Amino acid sequence: MGAMSLDHPECGQQHATDMWRRQRGLSQLDLAIRAPLSQRHVSFIETGRSRPGEGVVHRVAEALEVPLRDRNILLEAAGLAASYPEVPLSDGAAAPFRNAIRMLLESHEPYPAYVINRWWELIDANAAGRRIFVQTGDGPINLVDAILGPGPIREMIDNFSAVGWVFLRRMRREVADSGPDERLQELLARAEAYMKDVPVADENASAELVICPHLRIGDQVIKTVSMVARFGTAREVTLDAKLVELMFSGDEEAEAFF
C-alpha cells in the first residue's frame, strides 16, 4: 500500500482529506490553521507522502467536522482502528439513550413525534405520529418517498410546494455535509425527481417565521410547528445519526385538534 493516505474506498484516487477540505470550502492553509498542522504536512497527507498518526487523523476530522461514521473510515484507511463504536439501539449499552428517546416520544403526546435515521427512514414514532404516518408495510417508511412522492401524505400537506422545497434544500445540505454515501445520493436523486415539476414557492410572501406543514385533515387545515432534537455530544455512530422530529400545534385550531 506504500505511504498511507486517507483514501476513501469510494473516492478512487481522490484523497478523502482533499475531498472533505474542498467540500468545506477550505484551502490547505485554512485546514492547517484549524487542525493545527503545517501546510506542508496537510499537503503530504493529501498526496500520500505522509502516513498520519491517530492524533492527526482526529485533529483533521474535527477541523473538517467529519461525521463519526466517516471518521472511522478515515482511521481505517490510515491503517488505524476505528475509534467510534456502532451499537444498535436494541443493544444493552444503548438502553439509557433508547429510554431517553422513548420518554421524549411519550411525553410529547398528544403531539406527533418521529425518530428518523441517517437515510430518512422513520424508525419509531409515538401514537400521535403513527396516526398521521400509518405503517402499511413491513419495513420502515422512507420520508423522501412518503412526503415528496405521490400518495396520501403529499396530498395531505396543504402547503406542499413550500414544505417540499424546504425538505429538498435540507436534504441537499445534509448530503453535502456527509461523506460519500451512495444510498444518500440515490435518495437525493429521487427527491430531485419528485420536485422537478413543483413550482418554487414564494416564501417571502408568507408571514410565517418557519415553513412547517399545514395538514389538510377532513375539512380542517391543521397548522403545525416542527423542530428537531438530537444527541449533540454523541461519540457513537448510531446515536450520532439519529434525530427526533417534534411536531407542535401552530394555532388554536390545531391545539384543539391534537
| Residue ranges in the chain modelled with pLDDT below 50 | 1-14
Residues 108 and 144: their CA atoms lie apart, in Å, by: 24
Q: Which among 113, 96, 95, 116 is positioned nearest to 104, based on CA atoms?
A: 113
pLDDT, tens only, 5-39: 444 443 422 368 888 888 888 898 998 898 899 99
pLDDT on residue 186: 94
pTM over cut 0.85: no
Separation in Å, CA 234 to CA 72, 146, 158, 200: 14, 28, 36, 36
Residue 2 pLDDT: 37
Residue written as grid cell 473510515: 73
| Confidence (pLDDT) at 236 | 59
So what's the pLDDT on residue 4? 39
